[in-house]
Structure formats: structure tokens, C-alpha cells
Amino acid sequence: MKYVDAVTDISIADIKVDLMRTAYDNDRALLNTFDPRVVLVWSVLFMIVPWLFYDPLPLAILLGAAFVLAALSQVSKYLLALLLFGQITNIGFFVVMVPAMGGAIQAAGYLGDNTGRVTEAIATLDPAVFGEVWSIVATATGRGIRTATTSQSVGIDAVGAVVPFFLKLTIISVISLAVFSAMSPQKLSKGMLRLGVPRQLTFAIAYGYRMMPLLVEEYHALVNSFRLRSEVPEKTGFLKWRYFYYLLKLSVKAFYPLIFNVAKRARVTVEAMETKGFSRSLGDERSRALRTEGMMVRTRDVSFVFGSLLFIAAVWAFT
């Protein structure tokens, strides 16, 4: 159980630190130094590119490149591990699921072929025919189990087919991790604003950036105050389920006071924004221009985009 403990004992504090680092400490990341519009367009482009490849080799090369980018962007290792674990279990799942499904289909097919006799048996209510029904069901089950246990090759074929698919998904996730943990949210929301995204939505990003540490802190404090005022179950039960259930109930309950606090905060925020004329500036083109002035595409941005395009072309041509 030592290994399990190592996984479950990651404390909230560790995650909080990791999270804050991901969201706030990114000035030196490579992708943060480019123009946000270029990075946005680039990332959309590179979320489409992996779908064009079907062979594992070029996809593996692209994945390697994505990892290099992630390393340059100081992506949180915790998130990367979480992502990889998810994808690997997804693939492993297919080894078991496809033969099992095949068995079920075989069994259902055999039953389907014999529906005539089964319905006849039910219609006549003859005990002798019921025996026959029983044997049909038994044969169907037997066939199903035999298929499920003997058709491992089909499972491996299926994995061969889905591995490129999951490679694509992993590449896309790693690239987006690199891009969005590297770019600072102010830059991101400015870039989106310039690309024509409504201001209500780009505001949300900036607001979330400002508020996230406060909200997380507040929620943590609420959970802690609930813990102080309540009793931990003495018997933890099988796999500590009582303890987890207790924590879960606390974390659900803590949302009640949180909702009121956030409501108060939302009102104050909107009042402050209205004082500064937010609604009036919403549809105003001059306000948009004022907020995003100073953004410029430079030659290094262009070299970044075309450099990566050439890389893709090389992968395409030489694999």
C-alpha cells in the first residue's frame, strides 16, 4: 500500500503551489514572448495538424516535439503525469473491452437466431420447450465467453487502430498545456479581444486570473472551518470510505456560504466596473483599440510559425 499512499498523500497545499505556478509564474516561458494573436492562431493550426496523420511514426515525432515545447514552457509535471496516465489507461481499456464486446455480440447473435424457438416456447408454456430455451441460453453464454477469451488478437488489432487516435489526442493536449500555461492570461485575453472575441468573454479570463487565488483560499478556509467545527468519524471503514464520505460532505456543504460570498463580490465588482463605464465601452471600437495598442507581429513571430510549418512538412515528407 506504500505506492498507493504516495499517490493519495499529495496534499492540497502541494497542488495549490503547483497550480499557482502554472497560472502565474510564466514570464520566462518561450511561448509567452511571442505575440498572443500569433500564438493563438498557431495553436488552432496545430490542433488540426495531428488529425492529418494516421501512422504512428510521424505522430510519435510530433509528440516528441510537443514534449520539447512543454519543457520550454515549464508545464507542471503533475498535470502532465495526470494526462499521460489517463491516456494509457484508455488504451489498456480497449484490450479488454473489444473481446468482451465481441463475446456479447456473439451471444446476442446466437440468441437472435433462435428467437423463433424462444417465443414459441413462451407462447406454448410447455415445460419441455422451456428446457430447450435453457439450453439455447447456455449455448449463447458459452459462445460469448469462448469468443471473449479466445479473441485476444482482435483486441490487439483494435489497440493498433486506436493508438494513433490517442496519440493525436495526447499531442493536442500537450500542445495546449504548453501554450496555455505559458501565456499569461492578460496577454491571452488581449489577443482574443484583438481577434474579435466579445469583451464579456475576454473579461472573464482576466477576472478569473485575478480571482482564482482568492476563491481557492476562501474555499479552503471554509472547508477548514467546517472541519474544526465537526467530528471526524472514528471508524474509517473499508478503504477509509467513511473518512472520504465525511470530506466529501464537507466540501459540498462549504459551497453554501461560498455562494453568498461570491455573490457579494460579484455585485461589488460590477458596481466598480460601472463606475469606470464598462457598459458604455462595450461596443466601442475606440476602447478596443486603446486596450490592445502596442501589440505588433514581429519577424520572430513569423519565423516561429513558418519554422514549425517547415518542421511539419519535413515530418510529412520524410516519414
Question: Which residues in 198-217 contact another protein (CB under 8 A)?
Answer: 200-201, 204-205, 207-209, 211-212, 215-216
**289 belongs to the binding site for another protein (CB under 8 A):** no
Residue whose C-alpha is closest to residue 172's, from 47, 35, 314: 47
Q: Which stretch binds another protein (CB under 8 A): 56-64, 81-89, 109-117, 129-137?
A: 81-89
**75 belongs to the binding site for another protein (CB under 8 A):** yes
Among 17, 25, 51, 92, interactor with another protein by CB under 8 A:
51
**94 belongs to the binding site for another protein (CB under 8 A):** yes
Write out the binding residues for another protein, residues 151-170 only, by CB under 8 A: 154, 157-158, 161-162, 164-165, 168-169
Write out the binding residues for another protein, residues 18-47 only, by CB under 8 A: 19, 22-23, 43-44, 47
Q: Would you say how long the chain is, in residues?
A: 319
Q: How far is the CB of 129 from another protein (least distance, A)?
A: 31
Grid cell 519565423 is found at: 303
Say how far apart CA 32 and CA 180 lie, in whole Å: 9
Among 65, 173, 194, 222, interactor with another protein by CB under 8 A:
173
Write out the binding residues for another protein, residues 216-235 only, by CB under 8 A: 216, 219
Q: How far is the CB of 133 from another protein (least distance, A)?
A: 26
Q: How far is the CB of 200 from another protein (least distance, A)?
A: 7
Cα–Cα separations (whole angstroms), residue 276 to 91, 199, 281: 53, 15, 9
Residue 137 and residue 111 in contact, taking contact as beta carbons nearer than 8 Å: yes
**118 belongs to the binding site for another protein (CB under 8 A):** no
How many CB atoms lie under 10 A from the CB of residue 262?
A: 16
Say how far apart CA 314 and CA 319 lie, in whole Å: 8
> Strand, coil or helix: what is 231?
coil
Cα–Cα separations (whole angstroms), residue 198 to 36, 194, 257, 276: 16, 10, 32, 18
Q: How far is the CB of 230 from another protein (least distance, A)?
A: 17
- Among residues 117 and 280, whose Cβ is nearest to another protein? 280
Residue 315 and residue 61 in contact, taking contact as beta carbons nearer than 8 Å: yes
Residue 297 and residue 34 in contact, taking contact as beta carbons nearer than 8 Å: no
Write out the binding residues for another protein, residues 264-283 only, by CB under 8 A: 264-267, 269-270, 273-274, 278-279, 282
